[in-house]
Amino acid sequence: MILHDFPLAPNPRRVRMFLAEKRIMVPRVQVDIRDGAQFAEGFRRRNPWSTVPVLELDDGCCIAESVAICRYFEERHPEPSLFGRDAREKARIEMWNRRAELDGYVPLADAVRNRLARFADRAVAGLPSGFPQIPAVAVRGLERYRLFLERLDRRLAERPFLAGERFSIADITAFVTVEFANRIDERIPEGHRHLARWYAAVAARPSAAA
Amino acid sequence: MILHDFPLAPNPRRVRMFLAEKRIMVPRVQVDIRDGAQFAEGFRRRNPWSTVPVLELDDGCCIAESVAICRYFEERHPEPSLFGRDAREKARIEMWNRRAELDGYVPLADAVRNRLARFADRAVAGLPSGFPQIPAVAVRGLERYRLFLERLDRRLAERPFLAGERFSIADITAFVTVEFANRIDERIPEGHRHLARWYAAVAARPSAAA
């Protein structure tokens, strides 16, 4: 088994944090997406969608998509559970992981990809050149991301973690998103004290260094 | 238990198809999102993110987000499985459901919301007025959606369904997306014969009428 990884990209980091929480060691190979290695023939045989991370199993079967890889390991190593234990907890974690992804990560990634010079002409992840940046998307993405943080702060006033009393994959998704925002110098706003408390608690976990 | 539903919106339809595949009956109440009922106080107490569908359990606990609701029912009624049975199948279905959602549904929804007159000034789902349409996003969304269909056609040349030999939630996500594209008169292009075969097969399932 080998994990196709890249240290600077947010989605592989979600998997590394997840594995660290479960204390699972997986050999890794680096795919330098700054150099376009994700578009090379060898990698595209593993993932035609040209994104990292990819988990390659011993028989050559490849699983792409961060959450899909995490789910594979959750099934193989259920404890500590990061996707939930019963129907209600699983549903609640799925709900919060989706909110963190669709209303946090996706708009923030839009802001990053449509703003940083290095993504000029490739503003869509997994697609090569020919996709110019749209400045209005960077503005809208940031606007939506800030709204997400407000909602998160309200949620974290009620509960220690996104999905409730226990740390879950939803916290990993949200944490990696907040850290990704550093790329465009976007920090947690003053006054979001519940969010700041949660952020400090997650950053103090050993998995945050993964 | 009650499902907060709306017949014309794509995400509630994902849940209705899922329930129909499992032959589960759930009482429903309609939330008319054309009239802004999702922003009313009563609904926002159930889902502060103002989206449908929402599943309200008997003790008042509310689960928002289509896939989270589906997962709740998968856990309570495992057969027929639509999320997969073992680690590998679960991971593969999660991968394809994510591709269908993130590379199919999200760009297509961007195209719809940023183009149809009825979404003027509210181009982001779940957010009220103050979000004007960005025409370049409609163009980019459609471009990405067409690329998604190309990739889907290649995948369906290898396998009957997105995730393999069996129908899964990934097929529901992709099917509802393809039907949603009718809103902007976007059809399966000529020549995508594997995609067309799959579409006809899914459309013929009784759940497609749900």
CA angle, corner A72, sides to A66 and A75, nearest 5?
Answer: 140
CB within 8 Å: A99 and B49: yes
CB within 8 Å: B87 and A67: no
Contact of B199 with B5, CB cutoff 8 Å = no
Q: Going by CATH, does the domain composed of B87-209 fall within 1.20.1050.10?
A: yes
CB within 8 Å: A94 and B65: yes
| B197 part of contact set with chain A, CB < 8 Å | no
User: For B2-76, CATH number?
Assistant: 3.40.30.10
Q: Which chain B residue shows the shortest CA-CA distance from A55?
A: B91
* Nearest CB to B87 within list A76, A126, A144: A76
Residue spans of the domains in chain A: they are 2-76, 87-209
Q: How many residues does chain A have?
A: 210
Q: What is the pTM for the complete model shown?
A: 0.98
| B159 part of contact set with chain A, CB < 8 Å | no
| B86 part of contact set with chain A, CB < 8 Å | yes
Tell me which DSSP letter residue B54 carries.
E
- Which residues, in sequence order, are bridge partners of residue B3? B28, B55
Q: What's CA A142's distance to the chain center, in Å? A: 17
Say which residue the tokens 């028989």 belong to.
A59
Tell me which DSSP letter residue B188 carries.
P
Q: Report pLDDT digits (tens) over B189-205.
A: 999 999 999 999 999 99
Interface test with A, best of B102, B133, B159 (most A CBs within 10 A): B102
| Lateral strand order in the sheet of A62-64 | A28-30, A2-5, A54-56, A62-64
- Give me the interface pTM, i.e. the ipTM: 0.97
One-letter-per-residue 3-state SS of B59-99: CCCEEECHHHHHHHHHHHCCCCCCCCCCHHHHHHHHHHHHH
Q: Report pLDDT digits (tens) over B62-103.
A: 999 999 999 999 999 999 999 999 999 999 999 999 999 999
Q: Report pLDDT digits (tens) over B15-50.
A: 999 999 999 999 999 999 988 999 999 999 999 999
User: Alpha-carbon torsion B97, B99, B100, B106, what sign?
Assistant: positive
Alpha helix stretches (DSSP H) within A77-161: 87-98, 106-113, 135-156
* Nearest CB to A136 within list B65, B72, B134: B134
Instruction: Give me the pLDDT at residue B154, please.
Output: 97
Neighbours of A102 (CB within 10 A): 20
**d(Cα B122, Cα B109) in Å, to the nearest integer?**
13
* Nearest CB to A90 within list B71, B98, B147: B71
> Omega of the bond prior to A80 within 30 degrees of 0, cis?
yes
- φ, ψ for residue B49 (rounded to 5)? -90, 0
| B196 part of contact set with chain A, CB < 8 Å | no
Neighbours of A178 (CB within 10 A): 24
